Amino acid sequence: MKPDWKHEYPNKEGWYWFAGERYKRNNFAKANGEKPRYELSLCECRKYGKGKDSGFIVTGNGQFLYKSELGDEWLFAPANIPAMPKFKEAGQ
C-alpha cells in the first residue's frame, strides 16, 4: 500500500510519515546555492490542551515539527502502525 502523501499538517491524533525539509532555508543559504536537506521520519501527532486552547503538535526524532518552521517542500502521510498485541501479564 502506497502512502497517501499530502501537503497538509496533521490535525488528528496518530502516526504519520514526514518527508521533506524540516527547516526553512534562510535567504542567505538560498542565495549561496545551499541545497534543501530532505529527510524521512516517523512522527506522532498528539492533541494538547482543552477547549478553545487545544491544538495538535507533531513530534519526530525527539523534536517538535512546527508547521511555521517547515521548509518549502514537505508532505505528511498516515503511517500504518499495528495495534499493540494483548499480553497475559498486563491484564489486557
Question: Of 12 and 91, which is predicted with more confidence?
Answer: 12
**5-60 confidence digits (pLDDT tens):** 999 999 999 999 999 998 887 777 777 888 888 999 999 999 999 888 889 999 99
Q: Is residue 88 a part of any domain in this protein?
A: no
Q: Is residue 57 a part of any domain in this protein?
A: yes
At residue 25, what are phi and psi to the nearest 5 degrees?
A: -90, 135
Q: Which amino acid is at 30?
A: K
Q: Is residue 46 a part of any domain in this protein?
A: yes
Enclosing domain of residue 65? 14-78
